[in-house]
Structure 1
Amino acid sequence: MGSELNFSFEKDESILLNKYLKDVLKLSSRLIRGAIREDRIMVNGKVARLRYELKKGDLIQVFIQKEEEQNIEPEKMDLDIIYEDVDIIVINKSPGMVVHPTKRFQSGTLANGLLYYFKSKGENCIVRLVSRLDMDTSGLILIAKNQYSHMALAREMSGESFKKGYMAVAHNKLSPNEGTMDYPIYRVGEGTIKRVIDPRGQESITHYKVIEEYEKGSLIQLRLETGRTHQIRVHLSHIGNPLYGDILYGEAYDDSSLISRQALHANTLSFPHPRTGKIINLECGLPKDIKNLIEKLKNS
């Protein structure tokens, strides 16, 4: 796989290149406009225009790499790379790391490290986040390395083939030990990051299964059907099983001696590859602090 997309037009009836790019290849209008403006779309080896009528046997090339800059300072850091190719990279993010620079966190973010990594390899990439994780949630996060893969993955995120799985350690035992939490999540106001269960909220669905039970807690596997902010944390708190270490939704508990952040880890990720459509299945193990928490609960 290279920096261009190659397609052969094999239909008997001709079609305008613009219509083919939009309706058949599902390219965004923004991508098409930029590629045409920069002469990055070719037919049979020659720069093409959108009004060109495709004929059977025509070879279409869309060059997806382009000169790009991002206002992020590159920083050298160790990255736990789970998967990488020319289109995507998947990182196992450590807890305590912000994903993208903010006013409060200008450096030390995953994006700072990724930009340094891309530049060190001589790759002209900017950081295009497909998925995100809270600062204190660890695990798999997907980043697109070009505009095309970001567009394709964003389109697939709401589909059944895009799946995100989590492991969590929650207070108390769940009953039943397998089920679905279907409660609407609502943001009360602009001045707070906290979410609540409220009929005015967005539909939010989380599937769960208890893997292990302890005297004062449970290890749970969860799968998101929707992707709301703090969804797992809000749902588990609502049913009386807040995450260990969650000071926002488990304020009734003092877990500071057990773990220093919410015990939530994104351990599985499945998605169709943006170029080939092949399903990529990825997994990573629990981090050290959650393993230590589990040992403490087993021995308590």
Structure 2
Amino acid sequence: MSSLLNFKYDKSEKLKLKEFLRVDLKLSGRLIRGAAKEGRIRVNGKRADLKHILNQGDIVDICVQRKESQNIEPEKMDLSIVYEDEDIIVVNKSPGMVVHPTKSHPNGTLANGLLYYFKSKGENCIVRLVSRLDMDTSGLIIVAKNQFSHMALARDMGENTFKKGYLAVAHGVMEKPEGIIDLPIYRPGEGNIKRIVDDKGQRSITHYNVVENYDKASLISLSLETGRTHQIRVHLTHLGHPLFGDALYGEGFDDSNYINRQALHAYRLSFPHPRTGRIINLECDLPKDINNLIDILRKRANN
């Protein structure tokens, strides 16, 4: 793929370039202003002002690559790359890895590793996270390589064409084999990490389907209609089914002999490609620790 986005203006009526970019192409104002200021927008091969009037048949080019830097130390690490092209990269994140540097985790994050990877390939990219996962949640994370793809993916994230699927191992057997959890999630206090179900919170919707039942445990497939912090963990805990290994929400359960982190894995992603609109479908296998947990639960159920 090229670093240029190419569009043909095929309308008979005349239209300002700015309106075409904003209304027809649905580009953000920030992207439009920056690209115009830096001379990255051209019409028929020539640099164009945003007030330029387009005629039918005009070719509009936008260069999506620009020189950028990020205050993150590049670190060499093994990354499990599931998909990559010039616009996006999707990585299967290991459990125990923070996605972006913080005061308590300045190094060893996914962003540190990605920045090293980009530089080793000679790609002038910064790390633009489209989705995030908790440190102890494993699975697929999508990262945009340029401002355009980040804008497009963030815009599409609330649409039905953007889907995220999870697998979780929870305590107990769900009352119904499938269903929708529609309960508001609230943060009770600014410094509180833990969330709760409360009418004061934001509407939160989780779809679930039980894949397999064990002795007092279940493997559950889940998809999110909303993307609240800790949504799956909060919803399942509220129903009396906290995740195995969840130190924050699994009060009263000691799962240290089974798994040392919450048994939650983002195994599926489906989304429209920011440039082509083609639906990208990706999946990754369960990690070793969750597979080990399932093996233990199956053996326990058969005894």
TM-score, with length taken from structure 2: 0.98
Other-structure match for 1:10 = 10
Q: Distance in 2 between matches of 1:10 and 1:214?
A: 59
Other-structure match for 2:31 = 31
Structure 1's consecutive aligned runs of 4 or more residues displaced over 6 angstroms after TM superposition are none
Q: Distance in 2 between matches of 1:12 and 1:180?
A: 47
Q: Distance in 1 between matches of 2:7 and 2:25?
A: 9
After TM superposition, list the pairs within 5 Å mapping 1:128-167 onto structure 2. 128-167=128-167
Q: Distance in 1 between matches of 2:160 and 2:239?
A: 26
Query: Which amino acid is the alignment partner of residue 109 of structure 2?
Result: T
Are residues 1:232 and 2:232 paired?
yes
Other-structure match for 1:22 = 22
Other-structure match for 1:270 = 270
Q: Distance in 1 between matches of 2:49 and 2:15?
A: 13
Deviations 1:147-196 (A, max 9, x none): 00000000000000000000000001001111111110000001110000
Q: Distance in 1 between matches of 2:216 and 2:254?
A: 13
Query: Which amino acid is the alignment partner of residue 288 of structure 1?
Result: K
Other-structure match for 2:188 = 188
Other-structure match for 2:79 = 79
TM-score, with length taken from structure 1: 0.99
Query: Which amino acid is the alignment partner of residue 241 of structure 2?
Result: N
Deviations 1:245-297 (A, max 9, x none): 00111111000111000000000000000000011010001000000001111
1:138 deviates by: 0.2
Q: Distance in 1 between matches of 2:149 and 2:11?
A: 26
After TM superposition, list the pairs within 5 Å mapping 1:40-79 onto structure 2. 40-79=40-79
Are residues 1:247 and 2:235 paired?
no
After TM superposition, list the pairs within 5 Å mapping 1:86-235 onto structure 2. 86-235=86-235
Q: Structure 2 unaligned runs (5+)?
A: none
1:56 deviates by: 1.1
Q: Distance in 1 between matches of 2:10 and 2:176?
A: 54
Query: Which amino acid is the alignment partner of residue 39 of structure 1?
Result: G
Query: Which amino acid is the alignment partner of residue 123 of structure 1?
Result: E
Q: Distance in 2 between matches of 1:237 and 1:59?
A: 54
Root-mean-square deviation (CA), in Å?
0.6
Deviations 1:110-160 (A, max 9, x none): 000000000000000000000000000000000000000000000000000
Query: Which amino acid is the alignment partner of residue 152 of structure 1?
Result: A
Query: Which amino acid is the alignment partner of residue 291 of structure 1?
Result: N
Q: Distance in 2 between matches of 1:13 and 1:179?
A: 50
Q: Distance in 2 between matches of 1:17 and 1:177?
A: 53
Three-state SS of the structure 2 residue aligned to 1:260 is coil
Query: Which amino acid is the alignment partner of residue 239 of structure 1?
Result: L
Q: Distance in 2 between matches of 1:14 and 1:159?
A: 31
Q: Structure 1 unaligned runs (5+)?
A: none
Q: Distance in 2 between matches of 1:178 and 1:55?
A: 54
Three-state SS of the structure 2 residue aligned to 1:154 is helix
Q: Distance in 2 between matches of 1:173 and 1:223?
A: 18
